[in-house]
Structure 1
Amino acid sequence: MVKYKMFTKLCEVMHTMKKMVIGGTYVYSGKGFSYSTVKKIRDGGIIDLGYSSWENDQQWIEVLEDNFFIGFINSKTKLIDLDNYCFVMEDNLLCYEKPDFSSEIKICLKRYDKVYLVSKIYNKGRLWLKIYDKHGFRCYIDANSYICPNKFTPYTATLGENTFMYIAPPGKGVIKTIHLKKRNRIYVRGLVPSLSSNSLINNNRIRYIAQSDSLDNPALSKDVWMEIYARGLIGYIPAFTKTKDLLYIKQLPYEHFRQHSIFNAYSHQNKLSLSGLISIVLGVILFFIFPYFSIFAFYLWTLGICLFILKYFCS
């Protein structure tokens, strides 16, 4: 009986999964929102999850803390798999508080830092990625930033710039190249870790590169190549070559970003309507008390009407 309990406990521990919570959530003492809250999980918080079960047409997942059950979260909670991340492949990658270069720099990511992609956002004609770092802090990076998924999947892409494709693995003494133009379609088969290697990178090799000391392995830190298929041939191009339709970006959901400017805040707080009303009232007072200044009264009326119209269009 004791062995059976130990085996059951071991299975439960093995079943636990670490996830990152997006947007924050509450842990409930029972399977329902009517139960008391045990604790609040912050945005970007990392939790251990156990088994899931159904209650009143809703799915609930066990939450564990130090392998002890503490409560349930609803299955609609947005979670990220900690095994699905990207490596930063730049020495210094700036991550901003908002998807805007003019916003505050929140984090400076280093080479081989782990980041988790959540969504993509268009702002001011530029594509941004909403990410979380390994500590669960949220920020935004330019979609053209050089990052590499830890689990590589072959994909089709469009070149975003002109480049040269090497027909044989670079460094093998073969100098034949083919000029590829911007907007050419390519099929990315895998990654090559250095100039002198012709073996594709698998998950273990990606992790090996990430764990290597870039000072001791300059080839690994700088010279990563993509093995591609283009124009009926297999060749190699630098991994930092700009491409469009990247698979790991294409799969991300779009998220709407609304820029909260001072003017919008002023408008949404009904201050435009109040200012327009004050202008009209002052115009009426000025017209009847000081008829000689009626021209200024008309100016105030015009200003008030314009503010009301502006408020209408802003809404």
Structure 2
Amino acid sequence: MCVLLERLERSLFGINLVLIWIFGVSALAWFLFYTDLFPEIGGVLALGGLFSWFAFVAKLLTEQRIKDLQGWLDRRMFNKWATILLLALIVGEVYLTGHRGALRIESLQESADRVVRVYHAADLVDGPRQLPTRGQLHIPLLTSAGSPARLRIKVNGYPDKQITLGPRDIARLYVPESFFRPVVLLRPTADLVESVKHNPVKLWITVGGHTAIINKFAGQAVWVGCDDDVEIPQALQDSWRVELAARLKSGLVQNWLTPEAAIFPGEPYLALIPKQTIAVKQEDVPEPLKVITVKPVQVRSSFPQVEDLDVPKS
């Protein structure tokens, strides 16, 4: 009987030791890959943190006290109840990680900090968070195998990015490259601005069965496929200023650099697809002002797709 008890104790010791190792390593791995808290946790556990404090306290205890403490821990941590507790913790950990994914967003070529927000449908689920220049964010998010999270990631100054995130997925996004996608900027010509600036008209913009209405179009530029937070690249702004100055039309700069966003009812976050057709119509004009084919963003300089709108043909 004594031999059996001794073998059982040895087995529990080995089993619990392995379970403690599994739980600790998997927990630290989750913090490392799915959150941005690992440096803080490492700081707590490292030489300047929790372990150092334990070492300091241990030096204040007598040898007998330390032996008593070790004996107490041995009895509490290497018995069947500890085994059950550790197994429950590991099962809970597996369940939780099975309902978590993560975003890893990294700033590569930015000269300024950015603000990141994460949405599920129209609901803000994380943020705002500051993304430092050449820094990165790890954002853990709820998801599941049966219902992967459909997320919209918005970095200020760029079009949003829509992704599907499953359990244990790590979606890696890079600013700005991951956020360049097809968007169209409708840019009015000087003649069109002159014809509508004192007499605004309605514009209908149709994409794939969805129609946005600009009720008071007075010659402002219009974004299609993104919100009005998107920034026009500085190189493009500079080239426009030079172009308009040469044509003695510098007054148009304000119209071009402050676009309004076309909002599509029922599809407020409409993302354009290459080869889609955009039809732009003006009220009381039977023919479209312009029919546009959406182009893919192949290089950074092709963002955004700029299309000129001119006065209706007589």
**Structure showing greater relative contact order (alpha-carbon pairs closer than 8 Å, 6 or more residues apart):** 2
Of Structure 1 and Structure 2, which has the larger fraction of its residues in helix? 2
TM-score using structure 1 length: 0.23
TM-score using structure 2 length: 0.23
Mark the structure with the bigger radius of gyration.
2
